[in-house]
Structures are given as C-alpha cells and as structure tokens.
Structure 1
Amino acid sequence: MSDPVLLPEVHKKLEYYCSYQERCHQDVEQKLYSFQLTADERNEIIVKLIADNYLNEERFASLFTISKLHQKKWGKVRIKIELKARKISDYLINQSLKQIPDEEYQNTFDTLSEKYYDTLLEKNAFKKRKKFCDYLLRKGWESDLVYSKAKKLEQ
C-alpha cells in the first residue's frame, strides 16, 4: 500500500500527462507502473481520469488516425496495426478510419507516391518498382493501390 498523500499527487501528474497530449489507456497504465501503486490505486486513478475526460479512447483513436495520415503519411493498414498495438478496440479503430475522407486519402496517397517515385534514381525498372512498392507498403498503404500506382507511373 502506498502513502495516501501520494495518490492525489500522482493523479495531478497524470492529469498533466494526459492534458498536453492525447493518451490511450495503455500509455497511462505504463506511466502508472512507474509510481509503484497497487492495482486498485491504478484503477482508481484511471477511472477518475476517464470521469474527468482526461482519458478518452475514442478521441485518442480519432486524433491518432488523422495526425498519422497528415504528418507521417501513413495508410490505413499501418494506422490500424499501430492502434491495435495500443489495445484500441476494433470498433473504435473502424470508427476512426471511417472519419478519413476518401478524396483526402487518395490525394495524400497520390502526392506521396508521385513525389517518392520521382526521387528514385534506380535505373533497373524491376528494382525501382520493388523499392517504390516496399516503401509504400511499409507506410501502410493498401497493396492494390500501391501496385496499380506503380504500373501507372511506369508508363
């Protein structure tokens, strides 16, 4: 059992932790382990953070999805994998992916793929295609999009 004076202090620290950047439950749980609290105390703090709206998985999933598309130019496959790694439910993952406008998604893909294709200096057409496809697949873009774009750009 930890010191009862410590609990409000830890709660304040976690409010700050959640307020300067959106967090998922897993992030908060990991942070709580560093304070050496009992399981009940950790749960109590998490419940309080949820009640005070510092912790919201739905909001986290939405912001994560949009920011990774805009900042890192990730595709839906990579975003889904990363959200699953953070133990976000399939329902919330699907809801957050639905928020991406199709036109914006396609435009982001087209811009990224054309820009990257132009930077490839590879002379061998097969190697160039492989580098191009590997790069976009690592970023989480759907394989059918990637391969059709590769064919289009090669012509």
Structure 2
Amino acid sequence: MKEINPEEEYRKMSYTCSLRETCRKDVQTKLERRGADVKTIEDILTRLEKGGFIDENRYARAFAHDKYLFDKWGRLKIRNSLRLKDISQTDISDALQQIDEDIYHDNLKSIIDNKRRTTKADTSFALSQKLLRFATSRGYEPHLVFPLLELDELEE
C-alpha cells in the first residue's frame, strides 16, 4: 500500500467538494478506500468543514431537493437515505421542511398514474395493492397514497 500525502488528499477532496455537495461520510469513505489513517481522515474532514467545503445541512437540503424534484422520491426514502449517510436528525428535518407540498403531491399523483397505465391486475383491488406497494417503495406516506387509489368495492 502506498503512502498517502495528507496535503495532496486535502486538495483532491476540496476539489471534489467544490464540484458538488458532499457529506462527511462520503468523503470519509473515499479517504478510507485510499488508505488514509483515522487521524488523517479526521484532520482533513475538519479542514474541509472549516473551509466551507462540507456542510451537512446544505448537503441534506440539496439532496432532499434533488431527490424529490428529479427522482420523485418520497419523504420516507429521503429520510432513510440521509440517515444512512449519518446526517443529524435536525438537518434531515430542515431538509424535509424545504419540500414544496404542491410539487410533492403532483409527483405522487404522476408516479401513480404512470404506474397504473403499465400495471396489469385481475381486479381493481389487486391493482390498488400493486400501486400502493409501488408508491410506498418510492418513499411516499401511505396516508397520502390511499386517497389517490381508486378503490372500488372489495371484490370476492
């Protein structure tokens, strides 16, 4: 394993962080893969935070914005993804509050309508179940999904 130069790694990471929002855990993972020791990693992360290259709150807001707007993810999936990146609950809450409710509901309606057109089912109940599973797998809250499902009478 080659010896790493902390100053060189700092420059590489600061460049990477200046290109796109990056969280602490992503940078830590990159540095670990390159063979940096724990002290070097912590020093680099501290410098990046002091320099404004890493800001967990800014990252969480950008992540949530992009995921709900472009990928049409729901709040639950966004929250869980941010938790996996060790983002604080406060930053996650701030990010989720930035979500525009009208766009969020339009996204949900859009993904259900699109899925309805391509899904085959024997009964309307079976179709509703498939649509519910799909929407909740995308991270949408069940209480928002149910009103959008056209449930006919339960079939036997």
CA distance in 2, matches of 1:38, 1:111: 47
- The CA deviation string for residues 41-100 of structure 1, in whole angstroms up to 9 with x for no partner, is 111111111111111101110010011111211110111111111111111001000001
CA distance in 2, matches of 1:37, 1:122: 53
Per the alignment, residue 122 of structure 1 pairs with 121
Per the alignment, residue 82 of structure 1 pairs with 81
How many pairs does the alignment contain? 152
Q: Shift of residue 15 of structure 1?
A: 1.2
Per the alignment, residue 137 of structure 2 pairs with 138
Per the alignment, residue 108 of structure 2 pairs with 109
Per the alignment, residue 5 of structure 2 pairs with 6
Structure 1 runs not aligned, ≥5 long: none
Q: How does 1:46-61 map to 2 (within 5 A)?
A: 46-61=45-60
Task: Give the TM-score, by structure 1 length.
Answer: 0.89
CA distance in 2, matches of 1:106, 1:128: 20
Report if aligned partners of 1:10, 1:35 keep a CA contact under 8 Å in 2.
Answer: no
**Structure 1 letter corresponding to 2:136:** L
Q: Shift of residue 104 of structure 1?
A: 1.6
CA distance in 2, matches of 1:128, 1:110: 15
Q: Shift of residue 130 of structure 1?
A: 1.5
Q: Which secondary structure does the structure 1 equivalent of 2:133 belong to?
A: helix
Q: Shift of residue 24 of structure 1?
A: 0.9
**Greater CA drift, 124-133 or 114-123:** 114-123
Q: Shift of residue 127 of structure 1?
A: 2.0
Give the ranges of 4+ consecutive aligned residues of structure 1 lying more than 4 Å apart after TM superposition: none
Q: Shift of residue 148 of structure 1?
A: 1.8
Report if aligned partners of 1:75, 1:142 keep a CA contact under 8 Å in 2.
Answer: yes
Q: Which secondary structure does the structure 2 equivalent of 1:146 belong to?
A: helix
Per the alignment, residue 36 of structure 2 pairs with 37
Per the alignment, residue 24 of structure 1 pairs with 23
- The CA deviation string for residues 17-48 of structure 1, in whole angstroms up to 9 with x for no partner, is 22222111110111111232232211111111
CA distance in 2, matches of 1:129, 1:37: 51
Q: Shift of residue 125 of structure 1?
A: 1.9
Say what the alpha-carbon RMSD is for the aligned residues.
1.9
- What percent of counterpart residues are identical? 24
Q: Which secondary structure does the structure 1 equivalent of 2:83 belong to?
A: helix
Q: Shift of residue 115 of structure 1?
A: 2.1
Structure 2 runs not aligned, ≥5 long: none
**Structure 1 letter corresponding to 2:69:** H
CA distance in 2, matches of 1:101, 1:70: 9
